[in-house]
Structure 1
Amino acid sequence: MATSAHRLTAPRTIRSIQRFAQQALAVLEQDYPDASTELVFGDPYQLLVATILSAQSTDKRVNQVTPELFKQFPNAATLSRANTSELQALIRSTGCFRVKARSLVRMANKLVEHHRGEVPPSMNCLTALPGVGRKTANVLLGHAFNSPGFPVDRHVLRVSNRLGLVQTNSPIHAESELTKLFRKPEWTHVSDVLIQHGKKVCKPRPS
């Protein structure tokens, strides 16, 4: 489905890509003025757990699981002592539940051992945690700590490629290119807007 953003003139030079990026953002913001993460959380720990669970799942599904999960494991200390079978049962519906359960317990243990149970507000410390890559770390930076972070998930990657903002299948390379096109204070918001557009309009082509 075409949108106003897709009908803008395709960029040809670096400067035109930057101008086009701002034009596309302005158009998309009209459709998604309140774009933000759809994960429900109350603190950095909850957002970290929810984001790990969202891999290969949906935010809606994760939001159905986390209330009971956080009731039983309200912080990193309790999660680090979780019974694996009980934890797997709680998160089973999010998919890949065995791998996610191991990652969550290992992540919680590292938080307790190295960060006094608190989620660290830096990219290097976050990506040193088990189960945490750059996308998850950027989600935490942008939404939990109000720091510049540009999460690149499959939606951001797809939309930014189709708009011509990037030409890569690598999330890391896409992040590097996209952060050159927008001001730091915009990064998380731009990511949220692209995610919403990818979910609702710019969907994967049928295989």
Structure 2
Amino acid sequence: NFHKGKARAIVDISRILVEEYGGKVPRTVEELDALPMVGRKTATCVLSYAFDLDFICVDTHVHRIVNRIGIVDTKKPDHTEKELMNAIPRDLWRSVNELLVRFGQEVCTPQRPKHDICPIREFCDLYLEEQDH
């Protein structure tokens, strides 16, 4: 049923873009976030990739990885985004999502991360905890 909801949202978003924005995609996080089923991550990714604007797209992978390796200590992705924006030079913001999503899908997985092939395991709180046991 989730896919039906997404399909409905695509139709609704398309109608809203035509009727309220003259067929143009909004260029602010706030306007994009107000669209059906569009959250902050989707909004920042649209602005970053479609409009070449500097944003850090924090999805579940980025949030998990930067917390595991101690770059941030946050509970929510929007807090992670704010802390990363303060910690990382602006010219690198767009690279964060590009570099970490695949790493999070293939190596730093939510369950049973592949520490044996992880190049940054020495910085990983989870890996270090496992070594202590």
Which TM class, normalised by the smaller chain length?
A: 0.7 to 0.9
Which of 131, 150, 156 in structure 1 is aligned with 2:37? Answer: 131
Query: Counterpart amino acid of 2:89?
Result: R
- Structure 1: 5+ residue runs without aligned partners? 1-94
* Secondary structure of 2:51 counterpart: coil
1:201 alignment counterpart:
107
1:186 alignment counterpart:
92
Q: Does 1:152 align with 2:58?
A: yes
* Secondary structure of 2:78 counterpart: helix
C-alpha deviation, 1:122, in angstroms: 1.7
* Secondary structure of 2:55 counterpart: coil
2:25 alignment counterpart:
119
Which of 54, 71, 74 in structure 2 is aligned with 1:168? Answer: 74
1:191 and 1:97 map into 2 onto residues whose CA distance is: 24
Per-residue deviation, residues 115-141 of structure 1 (Å, max 9, x unmatched): 111112221221121111110011111
2:33 and 2:91 map into 1 onto residues whose CA distance is: 21
TM-score normalized with structure 1 length: 0.51
Per-residue deviation, residues 58-94 of structure 1 (Å, max 9, x unmatched): xxxxxxxxxxxxxxxxxxxxxxxxxxxxxxxxxxxxx
C-alpha deviation, 1:196, in angstroms: 2.1
1:204 and 1:136 map into 2 onto residues whose CA distance is: 21
1:11 alignment counterpart:
none
- Aligned Cα root-mean-square deviation (Å): 1.4
Per-residue deviation, residues 92-121 of structure 1 (Å, max 9, x unmatched): xxx711211221111111101111111122
TM-score normalized with structure 2 length: 0.78
The percentage of counterpart residues that share the same residue type is 40
2:116 alignment counterpart:
none
Q: How does 1:7-46 map to 2 (within 5 A)?
A: none
After the TM superposition, list the runs of 4 or more consecutive aligned residues in structure 1 that deviate by more than 6 angstroms. Answer: none
Greater RCO, CA 8 A, separation 6+: 1
| Aligned residue-pair number | 112
Tell me, yes or no, if the aligned pair for 2:57 and 2:96 is still in contact at 8 Å: no
1:119 and 1:141 map into 2 onto residues whose CA distance is: 9
